[in-house]
A and B are shown apart, each in its own frame.
Chain A
Amino acid sequence: MKILVCISKTPDTTAKIAFTDNNTKFATDGVQWIINPYDEWYSLVRAIELKEKDPSTVLHLLTVAGAEADPIIRKALALGGDEAIRVNADSQDSFYIATQIAEVAKQGNYDLVFTGRETIDYNGSSIGGMVAELLNLPYVALATKFDLNGTTATITREIEGGEEVCEAALPLVVSCQKGMAEQRIPNMKGIMGARTKPLKVVEPAAADTLTSIAGFELPPAKAGVKLIPADNPAELVRLLHEEAKQI
């Protein structure tokens, strides 16, 4: 059993969102970087749990990024995983990134590829689906539960207004979200061990870039809150009905 977990580095959830170079680049000054929460809390931790159940499982982490992502990969390795691979490329195009991941997945013959449901910076929700298509494998998106019985997976996924349970044989690509696992904090042993785990750097495969970011904008500022006295909530209902016209 071989699992590949895709990891992305994202700005910390409290990072100030600002842009430089005439609003074409995210201002990274003073920004703390973290493992994308969907990748860490849900997909990586679930993969680690699967390995704990079946210790013969080989668990590899993969990121497509420059060397500045190395501390994030080490952080992920401190949680678990046998080794990490970094495809040495910097791209904002999902097709380019997915092509790199699919290339690594093909060469490594993985049974299972996990991604997070989206990154909290680009909010693309695209990588898992593209990788699945490039590998011609089934894809289950927005999974909230994942269990294995031999080579058959039982997966629960979100649907509008509920959930759906399905079964599929490996190999598979799955995107993970809340419910898959609980957040873990790396322990000292994990952190020490991560330093010596292999981190392979490979050069990117040739791939097309199909999109480019022309610029960023911030949403217009809110006009400010209209406060209604606590002893007169009926006034709020009137405003929502007559002024905001929402109820």
Chain B
Amino acid sequence: MSVLIYIDQAEGHVKKASLEALTYGAKLAAQLGTTAEAVVLGTVTEDLAALGKYGVKKIHHVSNDTLNHFDAQVFTGVIAQAVTAANADVVIFSNNVDGKALAPRLAARLKAGLVTGAAALPDTSNGFVVKKTVFSGKAFANVAINSPIKVIALNPNAFKIEAGEGTAEVAALNATVEASKVKVTQVNKVTGEVPLSEAEIVVSGGRGLKGPENWGMIEELAHLLHAATACSRPVADVHWRPHHEHVGQTGLAIAPNLYIAIGISGAIQHLAGVNRSKVIVVINKDPEAPFFKAADYGIVGDAFEVVPKIIEAVKKLKGVA
């Protein structure tokens, strides 16, 4: 028996969310008294053996040109073969974009109980119970998985990466790869920006900023903090900012270490997408803005006066002229 972790990579690089999944899977394996193995698909430029420092003992690598483009159906077929090769009874994914497509497919194929959005290690003292976020971060459910094989998709940024010593054995897995029925024709990456879903710091603006022309200071602050930018729904709806920046109950749900909300009232639907952030800072001129109730730090003041001063102070801190 083993715990198998799916390593998600883009352009040859292992995603941070997968390092979290590796740490999580290795800890779970130790808890269950088994070993942690991993599977990675496609061409990888990184040193896979070095991933052993996260606690994984063996990495099954399937390198095949078809796998350099994502197709949930084809990938699931390959991962299922890795499950057999590793004799795995628990499979871990990150609950990121591709994990959301793969985990349910694999679970259905293996007839495995699935928990997505896992927030902590399973409680295996009596059965197998996984804590997951529900109600858009407003609560947790403890879900018992009752099938022999179990699939878990771990929330990004919910589990701390821990590196120790060790190298993993890397083994080429000779898997059957089906032909893909989904043809990728274009990839548009926003270059030079931190992807919102992976960002540790997010600077977000709302309708209080009055118009798209005022986003310069948001972008400057984000740049200085190596942060991603986000916005409230009405801001994306009126096209001040692109749709992919919309966070909240009907947009992206994020859980950065630091969320800085500027000119956002903190409506319940907005909070639903950001309430898992570790530290929340609110800048709003209205002392009654509901966001202050969910905040750790706050400034009651005019964003147009406060934010430039914050930028100055951050520059000083970072030694930027």
Residues of A participating in the B interface, judged by any CB pair closer than 8 Å:
11, 13-14, 17, 19, 37-38, 41, 93-95, 98, 117, 120-134, 136-142, 144, 154, 157-169, 178-179, 208-219, 222-223, 225-230, 233-234, 236-241, 244, 246-247
Which residues of B are found within 8 Å of A38, using beta-carbon distances?
250
A-B pairs with beta carbons under 8 A, tally: 286
What distance in Å separates the Cβ of A135 from its nearest Cβ neighbour in chain B?
10
Q: Is the CB of B139 within 8 A of A219?
A: yes
Q: Can you list 17 A-B pairs, Cβ within 8 angstroms, ordered by A?
A: A13-B250, A13-B268, A19-B139, A94-B114, A129-B72, A134-B108, A139-B101, A160-B15, A161-B190, A164-B187, A165-B188, A209-B146, A212-B144, A217-B140, A228-B299, A240-B297, A241-B317
What distance in Å separates the Cβ of A7 from its nearest Cβ neighbour in chain B?
16
The docked-state distance in angstroms from the alpha carbon of A93 to that of B10 is: 32
Of A137, A159, A241, the contact of B187 (CB 8 Å cutoff): A159
Which residues of A are found within 8 Å of B143, using beta-carbon distances?
211-214
Q: Is the CB of A213 within 8 A of B141?
A: yes
Which residues of B are found within 8 Å of A134, using beta-carbon distances?
108
- By size class, the interface of chain B is 35 or more
Does B7 sit within 8 A of A, measured CB to CB?
no
Of B112, B189, B295, the contact of A162 (CB 8 Å cutoff): B189
Q: Is the CB of B189 within 8 A of A14?
A: no
Q: A159-B98, A217-B131 are in contact. List 4 more A-B contacts (CB 8 A).
A: A93-B113, A98-B104, A225-B292, A226-B296
Of A120, A217, A222, the contact of B142 (CB 8 Å cutoff): A217
Interface of A is mostly: mixed
The docked-state distance in angstroms from the alpha carbon of A212 to that of B71 is: 30
Q: Is the CB of A212 within 8 A of B146?
A: yes
Q: Is the CB of B296 within 8 A of A214?
A: no
A-contact 0/1 string along B279-321, CB 8 Å cutoff = 1011000000000111111111110011101101110110000
Which residues of B are found within 8 Å of A167, using beta-carbon distances?
182-183, 185
Most chain A beta-carbon contacts within 10 A, residue among B96, B101, B129, B295: B101
Does B83 sit within 8 A of A, measured CB to CB?
no
What distance in Å separates the Cβ of B53 from its nearest Cβ neighbour in chain A?
23
The docked-state distance in angstroms from the alpha carbon of A103 to that of B115 is: 22
Q: A212-B144, A214-B143, A217-B142 are in contact. Are A130 and B107 (CB under 8 A)?
A: yes
Does B173 sit within 8 A of A, measured CB to CB?
no
What distance in Å separates the Cβ of B136 from its nearest Cβ neighbour in chain A?
5
The docked-state distance in angstroms from the alpha carbon of A157 to that of B317 is: 39
Which residues of B are found within 8 Å of A208, using beta-carbon distances?
111, 147
The docked-state distance in angstroms from the alpha carbon of A136 to that of B313 is: 56
Of A13, A133, A160, the contact of B10 (CB 8 Å cutoff): A160
B104-127 contacts to A (CB < 8 Å): 104-109, 111-117
Of B103, B293, B302, B306, the contact of A225 (CB 8 Å cutoff): B293
Most chain B beta-carbon contacts within 10 A, residue among A130, A209, A229: A130
Most chain A beta-carbon contacts within 10 A, residue among B133, B184, B253, B316: B184
Which residues of B are found within 8 Å of A137, using beta-carbon distances?
73
Q: Is the CB of B317 within 8 A of A13?
A: no
Beta-carbon nearest neighbor of B225 in chain A = A247
Q: Is the CB of A178 within 8 A of B100?
A: no
**Nearest 10 CB-CB pairings of A with B:** A230-B301, A129-B104, A161-B195, A210-B113, A162-B189, A141-B101, A133-B108, A237-B313, A165-B186, A234-B313
What distance in Å separates the Cβ of B185 from its nearest Cβ neighbour in chain A?
5
Beta-carbon nearest neighbor of A208 in chain B = B111
What distance in Å separates the Cβ of A38 from its nearest Cβ neighbour in chain B?
7
Which residues of A are found within 8 Å of B278, using beta-carbon distances?
246
The docked-state distance in angstroms from the alpha carbon of A71 to that of B310 is: 50
Q: Is the CB of B135 within 8 A of A210?
A: no
